[in-house]
């Protein structure tokens, strides 16, 4: 018991006992600081140990806007003059290639701060996506109103693509790319239980989302009814349809509905549509990926609208 009390003492003797002092030769000023022999053998502090190590998990939280990564997507974002907050490039001790150097130069010319970070940090910012050594933080995506898409469509032929709870950002971006390529007036997506415009969408859109309006709505069925009032025919793409895409005329004002990856077009949305069409299939698998199917439908609309194909028009029931 006495030994325990001495080891836990609060005075100088207690401190000496706690450090294992054996006699007066090691007493006195020892408790006031390090022993001379300790100072002599202590290694000098490595200045690198003072530098903060990049940690992707902690740095993710500093990005409060949307991110765009990949060289093509970054170039498209700059061309579209998206509002860039800051840019990150992977550290390159041996220098950077000409393409990356040009992008960095363009960013600096615009007064954008470019920060060199470790590849691990950049991987974290891109959520594991293929960033190709560069990433931008931009202002959060500005969604449009459905009325904006109708106004953009004008009075003549037009295409609006409505996504019935597509879950994957990559699919959303790929569909946006196809829609923009054929001159669509915009995309309509649900504001819940569906993919929004994020890093994956920016990447696969290859810059299309910089030019294509996206309306985020609370109720897809109501959005369809509003588009009908604006003169749009609503065509649902589903492998369960009786009619083939090649049997109908897709020219004019079309709202193309693409279903989710697992459930397709929902019953409620189909009930608000005018027609359901399927792609002809002669292979063994059941259907295409939603983004692939959307591309086929978009280009069929373009072919019919340009008058390059004669097809039987359909009538609304």
Share in percent of the chain as helix, strand, coil (round to 5): 40, 20, 40
* Model pLDDT for residues 115-130, shown as the tens digit of each residue: 999 999 999 998 888 9
Q: What's residue 232's pLDDT?
A: 97
pLDDT band, residue 215 (cuts 50/70/90): very high
Place of tokens 């093509």: 72
Domains and CATH numbers, the chain: 56-138 (3.30.1330.30), 146-305 (3.40.1280.10)
CB 78 within 8 A of CB 140: no
0.85 cut: is pTM over it?
Answer: no
Non-local CB neighbours of 263 within 8 Å, separated by 6+ positions: 165
Least confident piece of the model among 44-53, 215-224, 240-249: 44-53
Q: Is the dihedral of CA 58, 62, 68, 71 positive or negative?
A: negative
Using CA atoms, how far apart are residues 279 and 287, in angstroms rounded to an integer?
Answer: 8
Pull the structure tokens for residue 89.
């490039």
Q: What's residue 313's pLDDT?
A: 55
Q: What's residue 50's pLDDT?
A: 43
* Model pLDDT for residues 84-114, shown as the tens digit of each residue: 999 999 988 777 889 999 999 999 999 999 9
User: Does residue 281 surpass a pLDDT of 50?
Assistant: yes
User: Does residue 56 surpass a pLDDT of 50?
Assistant: no
Q: Helix 98-109 vs helix 71-79: angle between axes, to the nearest 10 degrees?
A: 30
């Amino acid at each position: 018991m006495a030994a325990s009390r001495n080891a836990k003492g609060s005075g100088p003797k207690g401190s000496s006992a706690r450090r294992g002092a054996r006699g007066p030769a090691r007493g006195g000023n020892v408790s006031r600081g390090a022993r001379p022999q300790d100072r002599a053998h202590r290694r000098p502090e490595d200045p690198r140990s003072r530098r903060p190590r990049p940690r992707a998990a902690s740095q993710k939280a500093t990005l409060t806007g949307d991110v765009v990564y990949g060289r093509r997507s970054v170039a498209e974002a700059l061309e579209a003059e998206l509002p860039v907050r800051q840019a990150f490039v992977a550290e390159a001790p041996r220098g950077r290639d000409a393409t990356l150097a040009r992008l960095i130069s363009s960013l600096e010319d615009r007064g954008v701060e470019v920060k060199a970070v470790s590849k691990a940090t950049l991987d974290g910012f891109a959520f594991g996506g293929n960033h190709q050594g560069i990433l931008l933080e931009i202002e959060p995506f500005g969604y449009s109103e459905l009325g904006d898409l109708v106004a953009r469509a004008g009075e003549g032929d037009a295409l609006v693509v409505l996504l019935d709870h597509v879950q994957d950002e990559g699919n959303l971006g790929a569909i946006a790319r196809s829609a923009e390529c054929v001159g669509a007036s915009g995309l309509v997506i649900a504001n819940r239980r569906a993919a929004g415009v994020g890093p994956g969408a920016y990447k696969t859109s290859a810059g299309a989302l910089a030019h294509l309006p996206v309306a985020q709505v609370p109720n897809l069925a109501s959005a369809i009814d509003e588009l009908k009032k604006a003169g749009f025919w609503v065509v649902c793409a589903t492998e369960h349809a009786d009619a083939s895409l090649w049997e109908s005329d897709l020219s004019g004002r079309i709202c193309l509905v693409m279903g989710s990856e697992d459930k397709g077009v929902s019953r409620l949305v189909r009930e608000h549509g005018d027609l359901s069409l399927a792609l002809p299939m002669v292979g063994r698998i059941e259907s295409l990926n939603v983004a692939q199917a959307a591309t086929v439908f978009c280009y069929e609309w373009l072919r019919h609208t340009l008058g390059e194909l004669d097809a039987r028009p359909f009538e609304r029931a």
